[in-house]
A and B are shown apart, each in its own frame.
Chain A
């Protein structure tokens, strides 16, 4: 049977962000502290 359907374009490529980028996020999360002062929310990053 004749192929009447064209091959679907493969735009979908499965990738993952590198470990270093993920580690950065984890360190960011550990360093982030939220303080609520007089109705204001203050974000602070501890070194």
Chain B
């Protein structure tokens, strides 16, 4: 049950340092203000946010001594809430939000390509194993493979770099891959993620 003290008196008491006065003011106008906000935004969590932001401004203004008591406390509070509601709609218009529902969830089509921690660990291990295997190849095949796969060079560039014909470079790459497969099979290594 709310007291019968009017708003102006409660404001005066609050400015004078009585914290119970603001509690009375908030409780007295809670339903009216919350219902007003909810009628505009139609969302309970947004309503609470705006309610809190409204009273944060009220508290700050009262404590700063910047409030002129003209018997219009509630209209003043409602005006603050009204402006915050407008700000909310302006923000949402600039950045529309999507809320998933039972029929459709946006995350079923939006995916993150990044590997999870476990898969990243496995990939790192495979990369390390592969480096060891590549070391077992003959030098000319190893060089071509490294230049092609790790340094992303074209066969023209590889041929120029190793001073051989492009056909020779292609041949060395082909044998590198054949020999790599043989090493993997011989050692029964599994290199999959």
Residues of A within 8 A of B (CB): 11-18, 21-22, 24-26, 28-30, 32, 34, 41, 43
Please, which residues of chain A bring their CB within 8 A of the CB of B59?
25, 28-29, 32
Contact of A25 among B26, B34, B38 (CB under 8 A): B26
A30 to B55, CA, bound (A): 13
Do A11 and B51 touch across chains, with their CB atoms under 8 A apart? no
User: What's the count of A-B pairs with C-beta under 8 Å?
Assistant: 60
Do A15 and B60 touch across chains, with their CB atoms under 8 A apart? no
Do B34 and A15 touch across chains, with their CB atoms under 8 A apart? yes
**Interface range for B:** 20 to 34
Cβ proximity bits B10-36 to A, threshold 8 Å, 1 near / 0 not:
000000000100110011001101110
A29 to B13, CA, bound (A): 14
Please, which residues of chain A bring their CB within 8 A of the CB of B44?
15
Tell me if A's interface is mostly helix, strand, loop or mixed. Answer: mixed
User: Chain B nearest CB: distance from A20 CB in Å?
Assistant: 9
User: Chain B nearest CB: distance from A22 CB in Å?
Assistant: 6
A21 to B50, CA, bound (A): 11
Determine whether B47 belongs to the interface, using a CB cutoff of 8 Å to chain A. yes
User: Chain B nearest CB: distance from A10 CB in Å?
Assistant: 11
Contact of B56 among A13, A15, A17, A25 (CB under 8 A): A25
A13 to B63, CA, bound (A): 32
Contact of B30 among A13, A17, A28 (CB under 8 A): A17
